[in-house]
Structure 1
Amino acid sequence: MKSRSVTPATSNRVPQRLDDQVCFALYSAGLALNKVYRKLLANLGLTYPQYLVMLVLWERDGITVSEIGERLFLDSATLTPLLKRLQAADLITRTRASSDERQVIIALTAAGRGLKAQARSVPGGVFCAAECSPAELVALKAQLESLRGNLLRNA
């Protein structure tokens, strides 16, 4: 882990105020983003975490809970209630794998596959709400992915 030392010349620049915290900027931006998604996803009947699961399944159907968890950086204890709600809404099925009953396979139902077409407008709605150029959003996404990788390596 790379450590940056604080020297006396820079010690007075160490952020001590809420508004100087990178974590708060990320947290509050996340809250604002979730408000935008809540509005865009309301007519689909999905929460933001459910939408993320559906995105994973629209990319690759019939995968295990652990594979979904790896993609979303979530553990099975967090995913299980979310998946149960998606199953109750008839968007997915959960079945035990025949080769290993400890694994649960998540697959889209016809309604779950059909929801993909209805969700096509969601990314455009987020893009409009962000009021950024495509290049700015691509650069921001790359910076956030790099930050995530660094933080995970040093966690």
Structure 2
Amino acid sequence: MEDTDNPLLLKDQLCFSLYAASRSVTALYRPMLDELGLTYPQYLVLLVLWEHGTSPVKDLGNALQLDYGTLSPLLKRLEANGLVRRTRRADDERSVAVALTDEGVALRDRALSVPPVIGTAMGLKEEEFGVLRDLLTRLTTSVQAYTA
């Protein structure tokens, strides 16, 4: 029985659509990232480093919206795998800089095959992709401002 006045219908919940989409997209990434020896969160860290180069842990956390307790184990694993190097900054020993190793830089070339596959699987036109990304960014900003 469907009740059009019922605000609790699963099909009408934006949160469920976001959840299902996120699970689907993350599952799509998994086999490609497995071939690169990465988890999805590790891939995100590398995306920031490939774009910005050496970065303080604090800047990585801000870019990825992750706290230090979540980011630190990711960085330790990436370092153990020889993809990044963490060093204390000479001008501020409280700050740790994260840099790509030669292996981390080289992995970028292999990762270039990932975005086109994801884009094709999403089945969105280029302008739809941009609109969706912008709407999701706005949604995230609004919700974060509301809960702050």
Does the pair score TM above 0.5?
yes
Q: Classify the TM-score, shorter chain.
A: over 0.9
Distance (whole Å) between structure 2 residues aligned to residue 51 and residue 15 of structure 1: 37
Match status 1:104 vs 2:104: no
Count of paired positions: 144
Partner of 2:12: 20
Asked if 2 retains the 8 angstrom alpha-carbon contact of 1:40 and 1:125, the reply is no
Deviations for 1:34-88, whole angstroms, at most 9, x for unmatched residues? Answer: 0011122121111110000000000111111110000000001000000000000
Partner of 2:51: 59
- Percent of aligned pairs with the same amino acid: 44
Match status 1:146 vs 2:141: no
SS class of match (2:82): coil
Q: How does 1:62-81 map to 2 (within 5 A)?
A: 62-81=54-73
Cα distance change, pair 142–14 in 1 and its aligned pair in 2 (3 A)? farther
Partner of 1:48: 40
Amino acid in structure 1 at the alignment position of 2:91: S
Q: How does 1:109-120 map to 2 (within 5 A)?
A: 109-120=101-112
Distance (whole Å) between structure 1 residues aligned to residue 20 and residue 94 of structure 2: 38
Gaps of 5+ in 1: 1-11
Amino acid in structure 2 at the alignment position of 1:129: A
Match status 1:85 vs 2:77: yes
1:14 positional shift: 5.5
Structure with bigger gyration radius: 1
Distance (whole Å) between structure 1 residues aligned to residue 70 and residue 80 of structure 2: 17
Amino acid in structure 2 at the alignment position of 1:37: Y
Distance (whole Å) between structure 1 residues aligned to residue 5 and residue 116 of structure 2: 39
Which one is further off, 63-72 or 13-22? 13-22
Deviations for 1:3-53, whole angstroms, at most 9, x for unmatched residues? Answer: xxxxxxxxx746212332111110111000100111221211111100000
TM-score (norm 1): 0.89
Q: 4+ residue runs of structure 1 moved beyond 4 angstroms? A: none
Q: CA RMSD in A?
A: 1.2
Gaps of 5+ in 2: none
Partner of 2:25: 33
